């Protein structure tokens, strides 16, 4: 491939929401409020689980690790989005763009694996309660979480390597709210069908496989719960899964439509709307979903507030 006559693109311009240019200061304030709430909410859950010995169980350890993960996941994109809302020239370097894609996708993959591990934990707790204490110890929980992180961090390496070798010689305007594979591939000066296919295969294996494992876990859980004779027992079993299942539906409901497809992009507004859901709203809602629906976690928060002397 001869690229001798092509001037290599050294930076990209992230357009964001150009049709909302007149209200960008209000978008900035809204996004800043959401981001600060996301940080405080997830940090609170992580610290409460860490400090409260009554929550030192695998289920809450997974929840605290998920909260820690959300802090990094949002840090990969939202600070740059905030900066772009206040800046006239919304530029990001080529290497900076690739780094943003890497961290966003590696942490997103880690979340897929972690949500799958949490579904497995709920399966063991409900379907094999007598063996649960020996099958899911705190040490095993930490090992599983470590494997999720390692698998996630290794996930996008092949895709990033392929994108870094593509020639970018013409337009450098990214029609998205942050750097991501589909909008960046659309700017390459060569055929990217191999990249799109590789992305499809990797995302299908990563997203569909974990989603099907989670679905299988909940089918087994449902079958086990339906055998419980008392209504109170059924309600208690379902309540332990409700928060996790809600997060799964929101998270997978958006990323399945965004990444498991054999096209570079759908409509620009479609891609932007989905990106807002899985990159901003899901991490923002997670603390509320887990705290509002979990009595033990709410009690632990109250205990920590009493210890610090803060008003309840």
pLDDT of amino acid 1: 42
Which domain, by its residues, includes 97? 11-308
Q: Does 146 fall in a domain?
A: yes
Domain assignment present for residue 161? The answer is yes
Phi-psi map region of 263: left, alpha, beta (phi>0 left; psi -120 to 50 alpha): beta
Burial of 95 (0-12, 13-18, 19+ CB in 10 A): exposed
User: Which of 211, 290, 299 is CA-nearest to residue 244?
Assistant: 290
Tell me if 1 is assigned to some domain.
no
Q: Which residue in this structure is represented by tokens 């707790």?
A: 125
What pLDDT is attached to residue 311? 54
CB half-sphere exposure, 137, CA atoms < 13 A: 4
285 in a structural domain: yes
Is 260 a member of any domain?
yes
- The rounded radius of gyration (Å) of the Cα atoms in the chain is 21
Total domains present in the chain: 1
pLDDT at residue 4 in the model? 43
pLDDT along the chain (312 residues), means of 10: 55 84 86 95 90 87 93 94 87 93 95 95 91 91 95 93 89 89 89 89 88 94 83 74 87 80 60 84 87 74 71 53
Residue 6, in any domain of the structure: no
Task: Output the domain CATH number for residue 70.
Answer: 1.20.1070.10
Compute the distance between CA of residue 1 and CA of residue 157 in angstroms, rounded to an integer: 23
Is 265 contained in some domain? yes
Tell me what pLDDT residue 148 has: 96
Q: Is residue 253 part of a domain?
A: yes
Calpha distance 228→300 (Å, rounded): 29
């Amino acid at each position: 491939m001869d690229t001798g006559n092509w001037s290599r693109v050294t930076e990209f311009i992230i357009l964001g929401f150009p049709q909302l240019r007149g209200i960008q200061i209000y978008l900035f304030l809204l996004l800043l409020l959401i981001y600060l709430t996301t940080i405080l909410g997830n940090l609170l859950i992580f610290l409460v689980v860490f400090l409260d010995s009554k929550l030192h169980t695998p289920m809450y350890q997974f929840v605290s690790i998920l909260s820690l993960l959300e802090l990094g996941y949002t840090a990969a994109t939202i600070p740059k989005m905030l900066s772009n809302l206040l800046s006239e020239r919304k530029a990001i370097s080529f290497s900076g763009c690739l780094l943003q894609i890497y961290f966003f996708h590696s942490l997103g993959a880690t979340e897929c694996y972690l949500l799958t591990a949490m579904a497995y934990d709920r399966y063991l707790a409900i379907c094999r309660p007598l063996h649960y204490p020996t099958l899911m110890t705190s040490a095993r929980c930490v090992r599983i979480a470590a494997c999720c992180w390692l698998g996630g961090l290794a996930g996008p390496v092949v895709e990033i390597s392929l994108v870094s070798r593509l020639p970018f010689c013409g337009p450098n305007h990214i029609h998205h709210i942050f750097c991501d594979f589909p909008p960046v591939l659309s700017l390459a000066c060569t055929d990217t069908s191999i990249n799109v296919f590789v992305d499809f295969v990797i995302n299908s294996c990563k997203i569909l496989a974990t989603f099907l494992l989670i679905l299988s876990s909940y089918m087994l859980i449902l079958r086990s719960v339906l055998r419980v004779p008392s209504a109170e027992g059924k309600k208690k079993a379902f309540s332990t899964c409700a928060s996790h299942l809600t997060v799964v539906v929101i998270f997978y409901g958006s990323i399945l439509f965004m990444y498991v497809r054999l096209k570079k992009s759908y409509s620009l507004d479609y891609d932007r709307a989905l990106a807002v859901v899985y990159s901003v709203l899901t991490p923002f809602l997670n603390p509320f979903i887990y705290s509002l629906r979990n009595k033990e976690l709410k009690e632990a928060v109250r205990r920590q507030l009493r210890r610090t002397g803060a008003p309840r």
